[in-house]
Amino acid sequence: MRASTVTGARPAGVDPLIHRYMWKGGAVQSITSAEGTEWKTNANLTGAAAPQFGSMWDTLKFALAQGYTAVIKIGESGNAGPTGGPNNDHWWGNFHVLTMAGLDLANGKAYFADPNDAFRAGANASGWGVPYAAGDGLPVGAAHYGEYRMSPDWRTFASGPYTGSSIEQVYLMKVPAPGPLALAGLGGLLLARRRREGTKDRPL
C-alpha cells in the first residue's frame, strides 16, 4: 500500500514510504538501491549510513515504538537440520521473509508471523498457502507466532526453527490496521517494558 507513482494519491493513514534497512559493512545502512532489487545480496545493494540504529534489533524496537509494521528478510543458516540437511532442513534457500508480531524487550526475544510455519507443533501451526478463513478470529497470543531469542549481535537467531539465520534486511511501513502488538496479544506487557526503557521518538 504505497502512494501511486502516477498521481501521488494514497489511502488515509498510510505512510507513502517503505523504509528499507540492511546490515552491511558492520553497520545498519538505509537501502538506496532501486525498489525491486531487495532480492539481491546486501553486497550488491547500495546504502547510506543510518547512525540512529546501532543494530538490526534497534530497527525492530523503533517499529514497536512508532507503530510501524516490520517485515524482515533472513538468510540461510549454516546449521544442519535433524536429517543432516542444510539450513536446518528448511525447504527455502537464499532468503525467507517474516513479519514482526511483537518483542519481549526484557528477554531479547522476538515473535514473528511466518507464511510457512508447519514445523511448529500445535493447533495454530499451518503450512504455505493456508490463509485464514473469513470467519476466523484474530490470531491473538504468542502461540500463533514463532518465538526467537536473539544472539549478542542482535541480528542472529539463537533459538527457534531458524537458529543461525541472521536478519539481513528490515522494511518498515505503516498501514491503517491494528498494530502488531494488538495482533500478538502482547501489547500491555511490551508497552510497559517500552516505557521503562524510555523510548523516544527519533527521525527515520
pTM given for the model: 0.73
Decide if 171 is inside a domain: yes
Q: What is the pLDDT of residues 98-120, one digit of tens each?
A: 999 999 999 999 999 887 776 56
For residue 194, what is the enclosing H or E element? Answer: helix 187-197
Range of the domain at 189: 19-122+138-196
Decide if 69 is inside a domain: yes
- Domains identified in the chain, total number: 1
Q: How far apart are CA 124 and CA 117, in angstroms?
A: 9
Distances in whole angstroms, Cα of residue 6 to Cα of each of 2, 10, 37? 11, 11, 21
| Amino acid found at 99 | T
Which grid coordinates belong to 62?
A: 523503533
Decide if 7 is inside a domain: no
Q: What percent of the chain has pLDDT over 70?
A: 67
pLDDT attached to residue 192 = 36
Decide if 5 is inside a domain: no
Q: Does 171 score more than 90 pLDDT?
A: yes
pLDDT attached to residue 146 = 83
Decide if 131 is inside a domain: no
Decide if 9 is inside a domain: no
Q: How many CB atoms lie within 10 A of CB 69?
A: 19
> Which pairs from 128-137 meet CB under 8 Å and 24+ separation?
none
